Structure 1
Amino acid sequence: MPTKPRVQVTPDHNLALDLVRTTEAAALASARWVGRGDKNAADQSAVDAMRLLFNSVPFEGVVVIGEGEKDEAPMLFNGETLGAGGGTPFDVAVDPIDGTRLVANGEANAMAVVAVAPKDTMFNPGPCVYMEKLAVGREGRGIIDIGAPIEVNVRMMAKVRGMEPEEITVAVLDRPRHAETIAKLRKVGARVYLIRDGDVAGAITAAQRGTGVDLLYGIGGTPEGVIAAAALKCLGGEIQGRLYPRDEAEKKAALDAGYDLDRILTTDDLVQGDDVFFAATGITDGALLEGVRYTRDGATTESIVMRSRSGTIRVIQAEHRWFKLTTLSGSRYGPDLDAHHGPAAGRQRRGHRSED
């Protein structure tokens, strides 16, 4: 008996809403841990919720950008297949919590994020854990150059916007390794907006109009750089990056794997093609999204979903009723959550995040 031919599909508008459901689930599950000092528990809750919802989506996705291999945290691991199946596989980049430390400490700008692109179009970081990044919105596209001094980039942005360098704001990851760059920015007169974590949110904030941030600079996770590239492709912005080995062992591993450490990676190098989806839901309040808010009978979320092909950007405010969530997931607060005692007791953890 002949087998039924496999249907070849491409992402459509329905996938955008399906992706938002996964980030909403992750945000709702992890928000119970805001300010409780346990970033691993928050991360595990987000991972479990995102995985459960992903596996109801009618597509086949393969995780190519996950968080687990970098720091042995709870993970959606590289190579894991997500979705209910059917159709052509797609690359999936996930960060169930962009900013686990922000959640643990009850700080701003934590969110759940996911990006989807056609198969084999996302950059594979391999052993390259960190990269230097420079991100900007559409007005700065074609203007920035990560190979140039940061002061030059500030002056170029000021020129293209008809502003003075003193009116340009640069978001920078607050790390000791950026002390020299911060000093240079202040010397040129730029305003410096330090962010503790969450450079995916930082890159989007730099690319979105009306946020008051013009550029993002920082040496941070390479996986987050790929996810940010997906978002900026949808926004019409630009990100440039250079791989940044932290020691000789990482440098040797990267070179042995064939990576060019001098190469400047563009947005198209990090995410190819023109049909990219990106979705994010706020966990804590931030410059980009409002965090999860609880009510007597449920919760509210705010999300953003984007598609590069159409250039559509949607902000979605949703109300979630506990009764409906219980029906769908078997618990009041979402997957793996108990109605009275929070996350299920006794779950085995897999190490901790190293957000340095």
Structure 2
Amino acid sequence: MRPTGLTPVTDPDGAVGRESLIARASGPSAPAVSNRHEAGVGISLCSTAFPTIECKAMDGSDGSNPEEAEKRAMSTEGDWGRIARRLTEAAAQASARWVGKGENDVADAAAVEALENGLRTAGINATIVIGEGEKDDAPYLVPGTTIGPDTSPALDIAVDPLEGTTLVAEDRPGALSVLALAPAGALMPLGRAFYMKKLIGPPAAADVLRLEASPERLVPAVAEALGVVVSDLRVAVQERPRHDSLVASIRDTGAQVHLFGEGDLSFALLALQERGDGDARTQRTEVPIDLLWGIGGAPEGILSAAAQRVLGGAARLQPAPRSEAERRRLEDDSDLPEVVGQTFRARDLVQTDRVVMALTGVTDGPLLGGIRSQDDGHRVETLLLTPDEGRRRVCTTQ
């Protein structure tokens, strides 16, 4: 295990390692933040304070029992929502300097460095359980790394400092910075899994979602569960050659297919929510997404499971190794139960509903607006998910 959170990668110029990428990402030669994407840290316009849990035991006990430990893990002198939000906003702002510059790894490195630096001063004892980037040889926070003082409450973290590196590099919609916090031991340590089969939908579809079902059987069943005709059902699928047959089969049923290039986490969150749930959606899109289906990144799958624990909905997830090396890593990992070929629900992968999650927009997308300037300052949009009855808030910083 590397002692630092940021793994070395080869940059486009052939230089290797953390110093090269970070120097390019944040050094004197880094581009200024564009007027459209620049952001400053400032006043929160969040409409409601994020909920906190009192950490002091009412019975005077030492907090060693599981329920008390969980409460303490979700408590702080500040609040975990504010911490998560500051971390994702810092990562989003750092990567926003590289929008449209064609520098995938440098944008990713800037986000990782900003988030890692924030963790070191956040006052939490955070273990990275899920850190996106290894499968792409991109900068990432290494699973198993612990950051923060031992005296602070221990938390598990699932994180993608920059979800959609290509979206930033090419100035396309939907890039996010994402982080989920949960009590220590709550997240299944699937950090070495690269790919996962995903079938994600709203609460009404929970009883009919089956990963092994064919589109011919599943699509009509979901439409009936949602009370819509098949031709109105909208399924989000990542545009990849591996999904050509799936897309054709879904279309053969008469349902609509929404193809997207990158950023499946946004569509997972949209799919988790019922149609017309205006309080849940951020109103960035009027087009419903009823299902997310296909094979995508495993870290995003765990983050989707974390979101489900707050929002509700239904998720069926299965590690799907795309190479023999990936399969062996999972089979040989002594910290894991047997996972290859197993289908999991969100509660299996995230074994608590005491989850805090923050998602910050980098570029405009279906879930959130991107970082931009306006007459009275700069605007950053962050979606906060809290365990307090599945509440969510869209907050702006300017």
TM-score interval, normalised by the smaller of the two chains: 0.7 to 0.9
Whether contact under 8 Å (1:138, 1:235) holds in the other structure is: no
C-alpha deviation, 1:80, in angstroms = 2.1
1:188-337 to 2 correspondences below 5 Å: 188-208=253-273, 209-210=275-276, 211-257=287-333, 259-295=338-374, 298-319=377-398
Shift of the 105–226 alpha-carbon distance from structure 1 to 2, 3 Å rule, reads: same
Whether contact under 8 Å (2:364, 2:370) holds in the other structure is: yes
Q: Once the two structures are superposed, what CA deviation does each residue of 1:102-145 show, in whole Å capped at 9, x if it has no partner? A: 11111111100000111111122254321111111223223311
Whether contact under 8 Å (2:129, 2:190) holds in the other structure is: no
After TM superposition, the score normalised by the length of structure 1 is 0.83
Give the equivalent residue in structure 2 for 1:30. 95
Q: Once the two structures are superposed, what CA deviation does each residue of 1:74-112 show, in whole Å capped at 9, x if it has no partner? A: 122212223455433111011001111111111111100
Whether contact under 8 Å (1:205, 1:288) holds in the other structure is: yes
Q: Once the two structures are superposed, what CA deviation does each residue of 1:44-69 show, in whole Å capped at 9, x if it has no partner? A: 11111112222232221110101243
Name the SS of the counterpart of 1:255 in structure 2.
Answer: helix
Name the SS of the counterpart of 1:163 in structure 2.
Answer: coil
C-alpha deviation, 1:296, in angstroms = 7.0
Q: Partners in 2 of 1:144 and 1:72 — Cα distance?
A: 33
Whether contact under 8 Å (2:191, 2:299) holds in the other structure is: no
Give the equivalent residue in structure 2 for 1:99. 164
Whether contact under 8 Å (1:174, 1:195) holds in the other structure is: yes
Whether contact under 8 Å (1:95, 1:113) holds in the other structure is: yes
Name the SS of the counterpart of 2:79 in structure 1.
Answer: helix
Q: Partners in 1 of 2:377 and 2:161 — Cα distance?
A: 21
Question: Which of 110, 126, 130 does residue 61 from structure 1 map onto?
Answer: 126
Q: Partners in 2 of 1:165 and 1:6 — Cα distance?
A: 52
Q: Partners in 1 of 2:203 and 2:126 — Cα distance?
A: 29
Give the equivalent residue in structure 2 for 1:117. 182
Q: Partners in 2 of 1:127 and 1:292 — Cα distance?
A: 31
- Which residue identity is paired with 1:125? L
Name the SS of the counterpart of 2:244 in structure 1.
Answer: helix
Whether contact under 8 Å (1:137, 1:235) holds in the other structure is: no
**Higher strand proportion (structure 1 or 2):** 1
Whether contact under 8 Å (1:207, 1:232) holds in the other structure is: yes
- Which residue identity is paired with 2:317? G
C-alpha deviation, 1:249, in angstroms = 3.5
Question: Which of 85, 98, 113 does residue 20 from structure 1 map onto?
Answer: 85
Give the equivalent residue in structure 2 for 1:179. 244
Whether contact under 8 Å (1:56, 1:84) holds in the other structure is: no
C-alpha deviation, 1:272, in angstroms = 0.7
Question: Which of 89, 102, 105 does residue 154 from structure 2 map onto?
Answer: 89
Q: Once the two structures are superposed, what CA deviation does each residue of 1:233-261 show, in whole Å capped at 9, x if it has no partner? A: 11101211122121333334433446342
Give the equivalent residue in structure 2 for 1:78. 143
Name the SS of the counterpart of 1:131 in structure 2.
Answer: strand
Q: Partners in 2 of 1:76 and 1:255 — Cα distance?
A: 22
Q: What is the aligned-residue RMSD (CA, Å)?
A: 2.1
The yes-or-no answer on 1:138 pairing with 2:138 is no
Aligned residues: 315
Shift of the 222–17 alpha-carbon distance from structure 1 to 2, 3 Å rule, reads: same
C-alpha deviation, 1:310, in angstroms = 2.9
